[in-house]
């Protein structure tokens, strides 16, 4: 026993303490509790994993399971409150607690002047608790607890500035869109219970492995597609990605932690976790790959023209998540998880850097009002450049390592996917460097006086910069290999070169458009006016959803359910009963004369009637 339960309990305690007494106590106490609880959790992860031999002797291939108590016992179904750690969850544990710790530290600097300080940190700790539950879960139901819990925390944190209408709306949007995905996930759980009689990962995968591939293909396809619906909701894939860009209404550390590094990768983690099921469902795999690729392309094209720095990075996140699903769908689960890790590094860094920029220019998020910040906030600049290099796939950075693996896997799955992926990678490099150039080069176009952020913010940035550059050398694919069915053979070198070249081309184009010849950008957007408009308005997807889904529901509720059903039928019934009762009462009140003797006469008449009835029917005997 490694006392795994302690890992999530530390943040939970932090949540409880900050939530209960944080309002009264000072910021130092809140900081200590929030960071301390995550730090303890991180240390305990390290201790447990090293005791399992992750950093030395090598971790056993089978999962270490700790069973605490039986949660649900119903017929033959037995769901325990169990935690498990294997290589997959070990990687996720390190990412969640490690990145989480850095972002907590960063947030103490970023949020220093915000109201609701204690509330922010208690939510953040609660998020850590649920995320760790999700990662540690040993069956699908425990995973679902974490799954729903992080959704809740995401809602709370997106709507952190709840007095602003757009933030509250964004929170609701995220929550409702996620419901669609959760619906698919719960249906998948039901199917698993019906077909396998258990929710335990070990038992389900054992049964799935034992089953011949051709048998029950329909069931596997159904389960896997439903899981993918859930993953699409949580990890922002087409058609459920619409909530993630709006989620940037939350504070930037939240965007970094929840909506870039950890929570949105939960779908990837869940599908990787269920790889034993997915290998039985080639159709579902194809769907995952195609949807992932489509999401990557679509989000990347939208990202090309956005002007809000956080929006750019949000679409970049959607796009990168698409890459991860492309990897999963191509059967390269290890590569997908590797990209989860490296993406957590560089995307967290991008968001934190963006936060630092926003902090520096006094809350401005529009790229057009920045510029020339390179010399004013050098640490932020250089760390963001590290992240941008990584996401563009420049050789020897973390992003290059993981993205190349994905693209190679895609090539072996279907060559056309590779080519589309390469083009998308080029676009990625373009729009990331576009925002870097717009923010840091040229002359400053804003009104504020930029200043470098405090060490609590730049410290995490620097650590993440190192990780973004060097993270590619972590042997994660090799470490995860035993978990997954092996797909990769040796790869041709030209595949990697092409991908890298595409990234470099994107960077140079961005340099050309936004540093060397800024007039070219305007000319291009004028020349492709229709296309530019389409992209700028995000393909009008939100408008389409409004028209096809939201409006009919709202109007239907208003006219049919409210005015028709609620007022007409339900209120009608209730009021009708009330009126009837008043009429009857109006008649009956004449009996209430207040005359005691008339009351007594009624009593006597009643008892005489009862006695007569009993005596004459003979029931008195």
Phi and psi dihedrals of 485, rounded to 5? -65, 135
Our CB check for another protein shows the closer of 561 and 603 to be 603
Q: Indicate whether 591 belongs to the interface with another protein (CB under 8 A).
A: no
- How near is the Cβ of 616 to another protein at its closest, in Å? 8
Q: DSSP of 359-389, one letter per residue?
A: HHTTS--BGGG---TTTTSHHHHHHHHHHHH
Contact segment (CB under 8 A) with another protein among 192-200, 525-533, 574-582, 597-605 equals: 597-605
Distance in angstroms (rounded) separating the CA atoms of residues 252 and 207: 44
Say which residue the tokens 């335990």 belong to: 200
Contact segment (CB under 8 A) with another protein among 31-39, 44-52, 266-274, 608-616 equals: 608-616
**Torsion sign, CA atoms 515, 519, 522, 523:** negative
Residue count at the site for another protein (CB under 8 A)? Answer: 17
Distance in angstroms (rounded) separating the CA atoms of residues 461 and 389: 15
- How near is the Cβ of 621 to another protein at its closest, in Å? 7
Show contacts with another protein in window 283-322 (CB under 8 A): none
Q: Indicate whether 176 belongs to the interface with another protein (CB under 8 A).
A: no
- How near is the Cβ of 619 to another protein at its closest, in Å? 11
Q: Indicate whether 72 belongs to the interface with another protein (CB under 8 A).
A: no
Contact segment (CB under 8 A) with another protein among 178-186, 427-435, 569-577, 613-621 equals: 613-621
What is the dihedral angle through the alpha carbons of 304, 306, 310, 315, rounded to the nearest 10 degrees?
-50
For the record, the structure tokens of 93 come out as: 């544990």
Burial status of residue 574 (CB atoms within 10 A of its CB: 0-12, 13-18, 19 or more): exposed
Among 51, 520, 581, 604, binds another protein (CB under 8 A): 604
- Across the chain, how many H-helices and E-strands are there? 27, 2
Among 595, 606, 610, 617, binds another protein (CB under 8 A): 595
Q: What is the DSSP letter of 214?
A: T
Among 113, 493, 526, 597, binds another protein (CB under 8 A): 597
Burial status of residue 565 (CB atoms within 10 A of its CB: 0-12, 13-18, 19 or more): middle
Among 24, 113, 596, 617, binds another protein (CB under 8 A): 596
Contact 258, 157 (CB under 8 A): yes
Contact segment (CB under 8 A) with another protein among 37-45, 105-113, 542-550, 609-617 equals: 609-617
Contact segment (CB under 8 A) with another protein among 198-206, 401-409, 509-517, 591-599 equals: 591-599
Contact 439, 370 (CB under 8 A): yes
Our CB check for another protein shows the closer of 3 and 592 to be 592
Among 72, 115, 593, 610, binds another protein (CB under 8 A): 593
Our CB check for another protein shows the closer of 50 and 598 to be 598
Our CB check for another protein shows the closer of 564 and 615 to be 615
Our CB check for another protein shows the closer of 526 and 621 to be 621
Contact segment (CB under 8 A) with another protein among 192-200, 401-409, 438-446, 594-602 equals: 594-602
Q: Indicate whether 612 belongs to the interface with another protein (CB under 8 A).
A: yes
Residues 6+ apart with CB under 8 A from 248: 170, 255, 259, 308, 310, 311, 314
Contact segment (CB under 8 A) with another protein among 387-395, 541-549, 569-577, 603-611 equals: 603-611
Distance in angstroms (rounded) separating the CA atoms of residues 431 and 507: 8
Our CB check for another protein shows the closer of 559 and 598 to be 598
Show contacts with another protein in window 412-471 (CB under 8 A): none
- How near is the Cβ of 601 to another protein at its closest, in Å? 6
Among 77, 448, 567, 601, binds another protein (CB under 8 A): 601
- How near is the Cβ of 20 to another protein at its closest, in Å? 48
Contact 59, 52 (CB under 8 A): yes
Show contacts with another protein in window 530-589 (CB under 8 A): 589
Contact segment (CB under 8 A) with another protein among 97-105, 185-193, 370-378, 607-615 equals: 607-615
Residue 107: closest CA among 1, 251, 240, 9: 251
Q: Indicate whether 608 belongs to the interface with another protein (CB under 8 A).
A: yes
Draw the binding track, 480-509, toward another protein (x: CB under 8 A; -: no contact).
------------------------------
SS3 call for 96: helix
- How near is the Cβ of 582 to another protein at its closest, in Å? 15
- How near is the Cβ of 599 to another protein at its closest, in Å? 8
For the record, the structure tokens of 291 come out as: 């949807």
Our CB check for another protein shows the closer of 574 and 609 to be 609
Beta bridge partners of 308: 366
Q: DSSP of 294-347, one letter per residue?
A: HHHHHHHHHHTT--BHHHHHHHHHHHHHHHHHHHHHTT-HHHHHHHHHHHHHHH
- How near is the Cβ of 613 to another protein at its closest, in Å? 11
Among 447, 493, 526, 621, binds another protein (CB under 8 A): 621
Burial status of residue 55 (CB atoms within 10 A of its CB: 0-12, 13-18, 19 or more): exposed
Q: Which helix (H) or strand (E) element contains residue 73?
A: strand 64-74
Our CB check for another protein shows the closer of 26 and 615 to be 615
Contact 507, 433 (CB under 8 A): yes
- How near is the Cβ of 584 to another protein at its closest, in Å? 17
Our CB check for another protein shows the closer of 210 and 591 to be 591
Among 592, 606, 610, 617, binds another protein (CB under 8 A): 592
Distance in angstroms (rounded) separating the CA atoms of residues 358 and 132: 30
- How near is the Cβ of 171 to another protein at its closest, in Å? 54
Distance in angstroms (rounded) separating the CA atoms of residues 397 and 391: 8
Contact 482, 405 (CB under 8 A): no
Residues 487-514: b if buried by 16+ CB within 10 A, e if exposed: ebeeeeeebbebbbebbbebbebbbebb
- How near is the Cβ of 591 to another protein at its closest, in Å? 11
Which residues of the shown chain bind another protein in the complex (CB under 8 A)?
589, 592-597, 600-601, 604, 608, 611-612, 615-616, 620-621
């Amino acid at each position: 026993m490694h006392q795994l339960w302690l890992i999530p309990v530390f943040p939970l305690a932090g949540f409880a303490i900050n939530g209960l007494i944080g309002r009264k106590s000072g910021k130092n106490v809140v900081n200590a509790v929030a960071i301390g609880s995550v730090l303890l959790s991180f240390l305990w992860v390290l201790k447990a994993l090293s005791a399992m031999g992750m950093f030395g002797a090598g971790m056993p291939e089978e999962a270490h399971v700790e069973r605490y108590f039986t949660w649900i016992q119903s017929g033959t179904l037995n769901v325990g409150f169990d935690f498990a750690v294997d290589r997959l969850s070990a990687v996720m544990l390190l990412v969640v607690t490690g990145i989480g710790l850095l972002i907590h530290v960063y947030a103490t600097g970023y949020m220093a002047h915000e109201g609701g300080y204690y509330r922010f940190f208690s939510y953040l700790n609660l998020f850590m608790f649920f995320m760790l539950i999700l990662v540690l879960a040993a069956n699908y139901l425990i995973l679902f607890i974490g799954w729903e819990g992080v959704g809740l925390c995401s809602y709370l944190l997106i709507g952190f500035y709840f007095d602003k209408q757009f933030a509250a709306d964004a929170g609701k949007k995220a929550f409702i869109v996620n419901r669609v995905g959760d619906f698919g996930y719960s249906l998948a759980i039901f199917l698993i219970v019906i077909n396998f009689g258990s929710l335990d990962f070990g038992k389900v995968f054992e049964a799935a492995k034992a089953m011949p591939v051709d048998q029950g293909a329909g069931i596997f396809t159904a389960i896997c597609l439903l899981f993918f619906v859930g993953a699409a909701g949580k990890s922002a894939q087409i058609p459920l990605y619409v909530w993630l860009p709006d989620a940037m209404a939350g504070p930037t550390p939240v965007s970094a932690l929840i909506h870039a590094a950890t929570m949105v990768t939960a779908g990837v983690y869940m599908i990787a976790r269920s790889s034993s099921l997915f290998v039985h469902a080639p159709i579902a795999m194809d769907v995952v790959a195609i949807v992932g690729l489509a999401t990557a392309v679509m989000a990347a094209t939208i990202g090309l023209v956005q002007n809000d720095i956080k929006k750019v990075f949000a679409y970049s996140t959607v796009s990168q998540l698409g890459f991860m699903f492309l990897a999963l769908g191509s059967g390269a689960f290890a590569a997908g998880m590797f990209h989860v890790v490296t993406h957590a590094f560089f995307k967290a860094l991008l968001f934190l850097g963006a936060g630092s920029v926003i902090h520096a220019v006094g809350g401005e998020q529009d790229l057009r009002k920045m510029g020339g910040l390179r010399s004013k906030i050098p640490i932020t600049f250089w760390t963001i450049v590290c992240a941008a290099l990584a996401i563009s796939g420049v050789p020897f950075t973390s992003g290059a390592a993981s993205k190349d693996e994905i693209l190679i896997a895609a090539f072996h799955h279907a060559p056309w996917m590779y080519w589309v992926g390469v083009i998308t990678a080029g676009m990625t490099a373009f729009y990331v460097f576009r925002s870097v150039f717009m923010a840091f080069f040229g002359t400053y176009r804003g009104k504020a006086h930029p200043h470098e952020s405090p060490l609590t913010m730049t410290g995490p940035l620097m650590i993440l910069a190192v990780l973004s550059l060097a993270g590619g050398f972590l042997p994660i694919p090799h470490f995860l290999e035993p978990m997954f069915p092996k797909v990769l053979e040796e790869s041709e070198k030209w595949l990697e070169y092409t991908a890298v070249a595409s990234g470099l081309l994107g960077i140079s184009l961005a340099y050309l458009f936004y540093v060397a010849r800024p007039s070219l950008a305007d000319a291009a957007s004028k020349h492709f006016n229709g296309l530019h408009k389409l992209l700028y308005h995000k393909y009008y997807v939100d408008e389409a959803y409004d028209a096809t889904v939201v409006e009919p529901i709202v109007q239907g509720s208003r006219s049919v359910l409210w005015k028709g059903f609620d007022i007409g039928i339900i209120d009608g019934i209730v009021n009708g009963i009330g009126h009837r009762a008043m009429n009857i009462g109006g008649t009956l009140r004449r009996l209430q004369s207040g005359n005691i003797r008339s009351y007594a006469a009624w009593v006597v008449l009643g008892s005489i009637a009862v006695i007569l009835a009993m005596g004459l029917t003979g029931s008195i005997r």
